[in-house]
Amino acid sequence: MQTINVTNFECETGNYHTFCPISCVAWLYQKIEDSFFLVVGTKTCGYFLQNALGVMIFAEPRYAMAELEEGDTSAQLNDQEELKKICIRIKRDRKPSVIIWIGTCTTEIIKMDLEGIAPRLENDLGVPIVVARANGLDYAFTQGEDTVLAATAHRCPKRNISKPQYREDVVDTVNGLEPNELKNNLPNSKIRESDKNYLVLFGSLPSNVASQLNLELKRQSIDVSGWLPSQRYTELPSLGEGVYVCGVNPFLSRTATTLMRRKKCRLIGAPFPIGPDGTRAWIEKICSAFGIEPCGLQEREANIWDSLKNHLEIVKGKSVFFMGDNSLEISIARFLIRCGMIVYEIGIPYMDKRYQAAELLFLRNTCETMNVPMPRIVEKPDNYNQIQRMHELEPDLAITGMAHANPLEARGIDTKWSVEFTFAQIHGFTNAKDVLELVTRPLKRNFKLGTLKQNVLLRQKTNH
């Protein structure tokens, strides 16, 4: 992965002012349909999950808490035996294909050896146990998904397609040729068509959004061979030398590193498919990796921009300030700049500049195209300093974590929760409208309130 020099890149406090990463359970347990997530933590973790995932009370959740009591933290109880009791109940009641343990801050502090316990219990129970650490000490909000996918990648079956492979057990002869003669005489089109462009995409997306991206690549004659995560643990994609992989989210750097170093895959470094501009660039980069000339992408992008005209009129010339929460900030900011917005600052909890190199370069090119300065990028921003800068800049909108929304609103700054972008469908051509819907909603509300206030003042003057 190449690096890029970003002149406006800064790093402040080193603290994560974000949502807790164990919340990744909220979308991952729905995506991996035959899984069960077990969060190993304290009552505080349980309270957080109850509140954060309270909207799903009518669903049948496949996650639970293994609450650490005083006997656990003081080493009076045997960790393996206690976890075994819980996992036996999970296997009996839910019959999952995989149990995923989510480590928390407490398991880090007391040095619980989850990776050592898991293989022994896996042998006893006969159910795969994947260990992922999603503690808030080391990881920001969406990096919880990153640790789960990196751990899951180790369980993917091995595949090596660096050399053509032949199914001699299926086809013994073709037109009277023996297997050895067949290898020398079979046309290239007959040599394992599926091995030519073997592509695996990684990142958790709703099934309908994943299908949309599959279809967009299909239009370019590229078949997606699998997704990580897959809808079922038993259908994990094969990985190995010669397999191309490409991410759909900017916070999956650990997964990308695991796929390259441990599974020997070839990473396609591309901007991320957020907004019509990002989606086109993402598809073009994949096509380039396979030596395919993209067809009809510019027209496809132009049609999407044309359908967004009403939203573009609202955001054009408006300013936005990203405080930093979900690590999607660079991609969303790049799209909003392309929409005509002014981005003062992009706060982001953590950024791997190698993994996001293509996105950062795309951001710079977008700023040059729109003739606007490159925004300041601040990793691990200090919220106090950010508020001071907001007072000076007076942005029209702040995209922020939930903890700061109400205080900022009280200070007269319109806000949008960054967590909404995490749970919304924002990838691909057809979902660009949803991104702008989220951004324009507070701007419309502010406009209506301003108009209402003016009408009230006008009436008061008329009555006097």
- Annotated binding-site residues read 20, 45, 105
Identify the CA nearest to 125 among candidates 154, 102, 96, 155: 96
Cis peptide before 229 (omega within 30 of 0): yes
SS3 328: coil
Identify the CA nearest to 415 among candidates 434, 402, 433, 426: 402
C-beta atoms surrounding 357 within 10 Å: 18
Tell me, what DSSP letter sits at residue 239?
B
Cis peptide before 381 (omega within 30 of 0): no
Positions of E strands within 144-223: 199-202
Q: How far are the Cα atoms of 9, 80, 90, 397, 409 from residue 77, in angstroms, in the given order?
A: 48, 9, 20, 51, 48
CA 196/CA 289 separation, integer angstroms: 12
Locate 22 and state its tokens.
Answer: 């164990």
For the four alpha carbons of 142, 145, 151 and 154, in that order, the dihedral sign comes to: negative
Asked if 246 and 45 touch (Cβ cutoff 8 Å), the reply is: no
Q: How far are the Cα atoms of 54, 305, 340, 343, 437 from residue 318, in angstroms, in the given order?
A: 34, 18, 8, 9, 15
CA 165/CA 257 separation, integer angstroms: 27
Residues 6+ apart with CB under 8 A from 179: 166, 168, 172, 173
Report the binding-site residues for [4Fe-4S] cluster. 20, 45, 105
Question: Which residue type is seen at 71?
Answer: G
Residues 6+ apart with CB under 8 A from 185: 177
Question: Which residue type is seen at 137?
Answer: L
Q: In what order do the strands lie in the sheet with 129-133?
A: 63-67, 35-41, 98-103, 129-133
**246: buried, middle or exposed (CB in 10 Å: 19+, 13-18, 0-12)?**
buried
SS3 59: coil
* Partners of 411 in the β-ladder: none
266 φ, ψ to 5°?
A: -105, 115
Locate 378 and state its tokens.
Answer: 């601040």
